[in-house]
Amino acid sequence: MLSNLRTTWFSNVRGDLLAGIVVALALIPEAIAFSIIAGVDPKVGLYASFCIAVVIAFVGGRAGMISGATGAMALLMVLLVKDHGLEYLLAATLLTGIFQILAGFLKLGALMRFVSRSVVTGFVNALAILIFMAQLPELTNVTWHVYAMTASGLGIIYLFPLIPLVGRALPSPLICIVVLTGVTMYLNIDIRTVGDMGQLPDTLPIFLWPDVPLNFETLMIILPYAVGLTVVGLLESMMTATIVDDLTDTKSDRNRECKGQGIANIGSGLLGGMAGCAMIGQSIINIKSGGRTRLSSLAAGVFLLLMVLVLDKWLVQIPMAALVAVMIMVAIGTFSWGSIKNLKEHPLSTNIVMVVTVVVVVSTHNLAFGVLAGVLLASLFFANKVGQYMLITSEHNEESKARTYTVVGQVFFTSSEKFIESFDFKEAVENVVIDVSRAHFWDITAVAALDKAVVKFRREGAEVEVLGLNKASATIVDRFGVHDKPDAVERLMDH
């Protein structure tokens, strides 16, 4: 137990603490911005990011992953806050937490196995584009000082690691923020700062039970929003966990992460915060800054609160250009540049799935829509491809005037039409044998195709025998098939 505690918490103390500082600095403007998007006070997003980051450090299923208030979740809250106010948002946050805990117990995290690699790549690329696009307002209609500061920040981020010894000892994003803040204060440069984003809270969060009627009407108001927040939150968290798994070459517990996200959101709702989930941008900042264990997530949340309450006078003077440089670094590092080269090498269907995922996510700004579109498209391509792997051969016996059809492969909704077209129903034969010992019938569409083939042969006066059904196929054929029933023709017409 002590060995496990050291591995998951204290195996990288220095790196985790430094990474936590960088992440905390990056969390502040985003939490404020997402609060503004949702239509609530900035402290709602800040309290949420603090609470979720701290709680998930203990109960999450992925060490080194950062969770907090996110833009994807904030977009779903706009109408609820506008129509019913903050208290209903807090109630929806609590219900979201409950649903996510239930998802963990139902082991819905395992559904990630249905998300193909091309969908993950599309998700990553779309997120990188969205992260970059989110920085454009800070680079539009501004003075040359902003561009100079942003370029200097990128220079520090990419060149500082090249300095012997020191470059590897300190995370370059942190150096970027500290140096540019110092330059801005020393030269008194008039550019946009964190303080211009909104007022920072000056008190600790307190326990808040949502002031809403505990009745069915309230449930009906918050239920649709809670379901949406649950789905988007878990999707983004699971996808982020997959990406961090790849970056660190470690494995996460997705079902534990579902429960952890739920517990964290319940905690956020009770402290006056909005619902949140894993943040891919901050998670990548954490990993690239040296964060690896649960301590980095805890440090990010604790440092966030300390900075807001204790270092607020310094914090408000951080130039947004410094944080823009950090986020541009995240966007560049997040984008899968190899996927562009792979467009020439990968199959067309794989490329289409990746591109569609990117287009849908970027155009809707909804990660769930993009992932859903990608998964559905990938499933259709897979079903179509598997449906091609079916072969039907036939052999005629002159003596018995019988024809034997041998079916090899998978029979289901995409191959059922090909299955029927492979039979010659007009041939003058007395006996027909359909050998399916090397085939598998998957669904009722396949069963209906077998029924249709058998009934058509019988209409032409042939005796039909179906041989070799495996156990699973026989079960579904016995349950839904009608060709062996006395009124087969009438029942088939009813279908």
What architecture does CATH give domain 389-494? 2-Layer Sandwich (3.30)
CA 79/CA 190 separation, integer angstroms: 36
| Domain limits, CATH 3.30.750.24, in the chain | 389-494
- The 10s digit of each residue's pLDDT in 453-478 is 888 888 888 888 888 889 888 888 88
Global model pTM greater than 0.95: no
- The 10s digit of each residue's pLDDT in 127-164 is 788 878 878 888 888 888 889 999 999 998 888 888 88
CB 371 within 8 A of CB 239: yes
> In the numeric block, which tokens belong to residue 399?
């003596």
Q: Which of 236, 194, 198, 224 is nearest to 52 (CA)?
A: 236
The residue ranges of DSSP E strands in 366-430, in sequence order, are 390-397, 402-411
CB 171 within 8 A of CB 234: no
- The 10s digit of each residue's pLDDT in 24-78 is 887 877 787 777 777 777 888 888 889 999 999 998 888 888 898 887 788 788 8
